[in-house]
Amino acid sequence: MAKRDYYQVLGVQKDASEADIKRAYRRLAMKFHPDRNQENLEEAETKFKEAKEAYEVLMDSDTRSRYDRFGHDGLEGFASSGFSGGAGFGDIFGDIFSDIFGAGRQSSRQAQGANLKYTLDIDLEEAAHGTETEIDVPRLVPCDSCDGSGARRGTEPSTCGTCGGHGQVRIQQMGFSLQQTCPKCHGQGTIITDPCHSCDGQGRVHKRTRLAVQIPAGIDSGNQIRNPGKGEAGRAGTVPGDLFVQNRIRPHAIFERDGNDIYWEVPISICTAA
């Protein structure tokens, strides 16, 4: 199946600013978040991932330029070619001077939702055959009142005038040009002038959520199952974290497990053994 045009996916023009792209992605992330589309979960997850992929490509100046020139074909092998995903000379020095001078550089990953870990006790039979169960997870979820934007319903965050929506500004330190988190918007790129009263402008609220978890057959104690997008909601519609379910098998009254083998200790008499 051919990939859709990334600009069409986000519903923006080809000359859209970073602030426009962020705003469009935030709207789609809220609309197709898996937690809000349990009845059409598969379709929602597909559209959510599609929007995330478009956002990541168009928010990076290198990949966006390459995409504008060559389309999807121009992105094949791009991440591993050394042009993207690695720390350059300026990034390395920026990190060093960030520690020294407190520049406080912030990547977009820091705005993403936190990963969560949940320990699940299961029976030996469930571990052997696999099962589906439900767990209650306390976590941060998008605020329903503002759809996760943090702004009062009917309003939208405005583009930060200090950083122009980039979330970062450049400063001069000892002759070096360094990049730091915008002190005005704290890296968000937008300013909320009319905050939502339900979440105090945070875009997230604490809620205990019941989630379905699939336990595959043959799982062992200590094994973790990753559930993408089931962690805490990201700020202002950014990517949610993942939920890691660590399994712990309860001791069995009769059987004992050793790897893929099951042992049963049966007491017998000397006569039977002979």
- The answer to which of 106-115, 123-132, 157-166, 185-194 has the lowest mean pLDDT is 106-115
- pLDDT tens readout for residues 235-250: 766 788 999 999 888 8
The pLDDT, as a whole number, for residue 30 is 80
pTM: 0.53
Domains of the chain: 1-86 (1.10.287.110)
Q: Please give the average per-residue pLDDT across 160-185, as a whole number.
A: 81
96: pLDDT strictly greater than 50: no
Q: Which residue has the higher pLDDT, 269 or 237?
A: 269
Q: How far is CA 177 from CA 1, 93, 156, 190, 202, in A?
A: 45, 10, 33, 23, 32
Q: Specify the pLDDT at position 174.
A: 59
- pLDDT tier at 94, thresholds 50, 70, 90: very low
Please give the pLDDT value at position 79: 42
Read off the pLDDT band of 176 (50, 70, 90). low
Question: Cβ(235)–Cβ(111) under 8 Å?
Answer: yes
Query: What does the alpha-carbon distance between residue 26 and residue 239 come to, in Å, rounded to a whole number?
Result: 9
